[in-house]
Amino acid sequence: MKDLIEKIRQKDRRALSRMLSMVEERDAKSLELLASLFAERKSSISIGVTGPAGAGKSTLIDQLIRTYRKNNQTVAVVAVDPSSPFSGGAVLGDRVRMQKHYEDEGVFIRSVGSRGKTGGVSFSTRALLDVMNVYGTDVVILETVGAGQSEVDVMNLVDTTLVVLTPEGGDSIQALKAGMLEIADIFVINKKDRAGSELMAHEVQTMISLAPQETSWKPPVLMTLAQTGEGVDALVQDIQKHVSYLEDQDHPEIEQRKLLGAVSEIIKARVSQEVMDFCSSDAGLREKLQQDPKTQNPYQIAIECFDRLDQARLARAKASKGK
């Protein structure tokens, strides 16, 4: 374990890949590794990219990578894809849309499944961001799954959140009303060449002006055409303005919110995983789960799972007292 930590400190990409795999596979040692590395996180620029599916988030990120690399900045991307209901793995593979950067040593891209999280952020997502931050890249980008109005978890993970919308905007405006307006640090109207882009930008600006302002930062509304890169330079400049704003201001409430959210999410995610792993490994319960589902009572199986979990906990307590 110490050898792996040391290799990550030395920016060994294979060690980074191995660590990320351990996190995704819920290796028993991964939590200890994460705790050991947490204090070594670097001061990277962290950007969340969220918004309705089809808004062009992956294409926009591709252009952001291109722009940051042009400025000699290294980039890490965590792309959250919808999880397969069968394997739990990522099924869309946003990395395919960014494959032109694969041979660039200054870019590291990783897809991770949402694992059923409606906000698009699982325990693995949070942990992968921390590992990449420790590894040390100038910019860390998180792309969420595109679930629309439910994607608010991202605000607890990154410093700057981009909400990407398109001119065909009825659904997008409804998403804003449902909460995405509150999480955006910057709005991006992508596909600006389409009809209605100016109207969409105006509607978003109107909603911003009517919303209560909790901070002195007013989210700018930018228009981009990600396919050609038009508007991306201005977007990078506004991201830097927001980063500078955070550095110049004291925001203890934001940091506290992120800390509480992280602790809560890690505990909930890890405990639920441990319970599921235990139930799946119990031979008796596993046999029941493999029987004809029409004859099974899922509530009774859940009760048995908790009973066996209690028995295992009591057995461990007795064993530790006897030592």
pLDDT, tens digit, for every residue of 145-165?
A: 655 444 566 777 788 999 998
Express as a percent the part of the chain with pLDDT over 90.
21
Confidence class for position 120, pLDDT limits 50, 70, 90 = very low
The domains of the chain are located at 1-40, 41-249, 258-322
Interhelix angle 123-135/2-9, nearest 10 degrees: 60
150 contact partners, CB below 8 Å, separation of at least 6: 118, 119, 120
Who has greater pLDDT, 138 or 8? 138
Instruction: Give the Å distances, CA to CA, from 166 to 19, 158, 203, 222.
Output: 37, 23, 12, 11
pLDDT of residue 317: 81
Strand 160-165 with 186-189, pairing: parallel
Is the model's pLDDT at 216 over the cut of 50? yes
Range ranked top by mean pLDDT from 5-14, 85-94, 109-118? 5-14
Q: Are 125 and 80 in contact (CB under 8 A)?
A: yes
Is the model's pLDDT at 321 over the cut of 60? yes
What is the per-residue pLDDT across 256-279, written as a single tens digit (0 to 9) for each?
A: 656 666 676 667 666 776 777 777
> Taking residues 108-135, what's their average pLDDT?
70
pLDDT of residue 43: 77
| Range of weakest confidence among 49-53, 238-242, 248-252, 287-291 | 248-252
> Taking residues 221-248, what's their average pLDDT?
93
85 contact partners, CB below 8 Å, separation of at least 6: none
Distance CA 79, CA 250 (A): 30
Confidence class for position 186, pLDDT limits 50, 70, 90 = very high
193 contact partners, CB below 8 Å, separation of at least 6: 225
Q: Which CATH topology does 41-249 take?
A: Rossmann fold (3.40.50)
What is the per-residue pLDDT across 18-27, written as a single tens digit (0 to 9) for each?
A: 888 888 777 7
Confidence class for position 251, pLDDT limits 50, 70, 90 = low
Beta sheet of 139-143, edge-to-edge order = 107-113, 75-81, 139-143, 45-50, 160-165, 186-189, 221-223
pLDDT of residue 65: 95
